[in-house]
Amino acid sequence: MGQKVHPTGFRIGQIFPWKSRWFSKNQYQDYLKQDVHIRQFLEKKLGRVGVVRVDIERTPSVIKIFVHAARPGLIIGRGGAGVEELNSLLKKNLVKRGFPIENFQGKKPKTELRLEINEIKNPESQSPVVAENIAEQLEKRMPYRRVLKQALEKIMDNKDILGAKVMVKGRLGGADIARQERLSKGRIPLQTLRANIDYSCKTAHTTWGAVGVKVWIYKGEVFGD
């Protein structure tokens, strides 16, 4: 019997790099929890500004957080004020939740927290941005079939995209019974490890309840050196 596997997790270490890059023998659990909390905080605080990915790197004295977004200007703000405010709020939140910002040896000197905002090119071909846009339109009560069709057309307008699939599931259009609707075009080779599958899932909070949104984008095969 076939099993569903997360397309990104299936390819981590093969063609995709790890989103958290550090090593700790004694405090692995604490740092893993901290990374999860950092990503949840940023996702909640930044809202829908097109955040594609959050990478975290740790050294004995610095925690570097790389936020890759489609609209970085909305995060950075005028003169970088937005980044400074976000950095301060994140640091306070970590301390409040019981995550002391200390170095790898567990000593008292606090580790510096650095936020770096990077711009993503071609946001229309990034699955998190597409999924966010679909969820946003569903929350505005737009017809779901039209939303899916327009999203798929925008994805396939990019010449580098070889295939795409979009799916929504829930009480579509206020129906009494939840169901799913999907549209696809081109190839989506989920079983090929070297296939660059960009996958994302989001949740649209509509007046009828939560609606799940999933997006798969096939960007060709990745070959090693």
Q: Where are the domains of the chain?
A: 17-119, 123-221
**DSSP-assigned letter for residue 188:** -
Residue of 69, 83, 66, 87 whose CA lies nearest to 18? 66
Asked whether 177 and 129 are in contact (CB, 8 A), the reply is: no
Q: Is 167 exposed, middle or buried (0-12, 13-18, 19+ CB in 10 A)?
A: middle
In the chain, beta strands by DSSP E: 20-21, 51-58, 62-69, 112-119, 163-170, 179-186, 195-206, 209-221
Grade residue 76 by pLDDT with cuts at 50, 70 and 90. confident
- Which residues are CB-neighbours of 19 under 8 A, at least 6 positions away? 53, 54, 55, 56
- Output the pLDDT for position 66: 95
Residue-wise burial string across 194-211, b where 16 or more C-beta atoms lie within 10 A, e elsewhere: ebbbbbbebebebeeeeb
The mean per-residue pLDDT over the stretch 147-167 comes to 95
Summarize pLDDT for 81-129 with one digit per residue, the tens. 888 889 888 888 888 887 766 544 445 556 788 899 999 888 889 999 9
Residues 6 or more apart whose Cβ sits within 8 Å of residue 146: none
Q: Is the pLDDT of residue 171 over 60?
A: yes
> What band does 2 get if pLDDT is binned at 50, 70 and 90?
low
CATH code: domain 17-119 is: 3.30.300.20
- Using CA atoms, how far residue 9 sits from 123, 193, 216, in Å, is 22, 11, 14
Share of the chain above pLDDT 90, in %: 59
pLDDT of residue 104: 45
Average pLDDT over residues 49-61: 89
Instruction: Say whether domain 123-221 belongs to CATH 3.40.50.970.
Output: no
User: What are all long-range contacts of 174-177, with beta carbons under 8 Å and residues at least 24 apart?
Assistant: 174/207, 174/208
Contact 148, 183 (CB under 8 A): yes
Sequence-separated (6 or more) residues with CB below 8 Å from residue 22: 31, 56, 57, 58
Q: Which amino acid, one-letter code, is at 202? A: K
Residue partners of 193: CB distance under 8 A and separation at least 6: 10, 11, 14, 15
Q: Is 126 exposed, middle or buried (0-12, 13-18, 19+ CB in 10 A)?
A: buried
